[in-house]
Amino acid sequence: MDLKSLIRDIPDFPKPGILFRDITTLLRDPDGLHYAIDSLAEKCTAAGLNASYVVGIESRGFIIGAALAYKLRAGFIPVRKPGKLPFQVYSVEYELEYGMDRLEMHQDALQAGSRVLIVDDLIATGGTASATAKLVQQIGCELMGFGFIIELQDLQGRKRLPPDVPVVTLINY
């Protein structure tokens, strides 16, 4: 299936110069969604990423990550923007193009040794995924891999991720 044909390109969103890769058109397509999740799950399994937990990054990472966790029979853990999670959190700061941002995860969500797969819809500069990796690795979890529907290869986000951790993607631009 040609998944790329189900991605909508929106120029200059959310600001001038950004070509936004809109996955809502893929999500609304029954066969496309089914194929995307099955393919991501198959690739993760083929790469030996037998994770017990999928960590999904707010907010599109929740959609992909929860479906993938169901398919892999793994638990799902949300990593959220500040102030959204109700229990005690660990947090990590990371750099944006302008300024800093923060991500949070419940302190009791993972334990040392938990096998974790980090999932988002798209990797661009890799800042968000690498911050999430820090959060997970600080706890002493075993980071099995990363999964993304889309990779923007020119931005070389992979280089910011921990070395020797497998990265699974479906669509490259």
Q: Which is nearer to ligand AMP, 51 or 79 (CB)?
A: 79
Q: Name the maximum alpha-carbon separation found in the chain.
A: 43
We find the least distance from the C-beta atom of residue 13 to ligand AMP, in angstroms, to be 8
E-state strands within the chain: 8-11, 19-22, 53-57, 75-79, 89-95, 100-106, 115-123, 142-151, 167-172
Could you give the CA distance from residue 62 to residue 77 in angstroms, rounded to a whole number?
9
Q: Is residue 1 at the binding interface for ligand AMP, with CB under 6 A as the rule?
A: no
**Is 97 tagged catalytic?**
yes
**Is 158 tagged catalytic?**
no
- Helix pair 30-46, 60-72: axis angle to 10 deg: 60
Q: Is residue 18 at the binding interface for ligand AMP, with CB under 6 A as the rule?
A: yes
Contact code string over 112-141 relative to ligand AMP, x by CB under 6 A? --------xxxxxxxxxx------------
Residues within the interface to ligand AMP (CB under 6 A) = 18-21, 57, 60, 120-129, 157
Known catalytic residues are: 60, 97
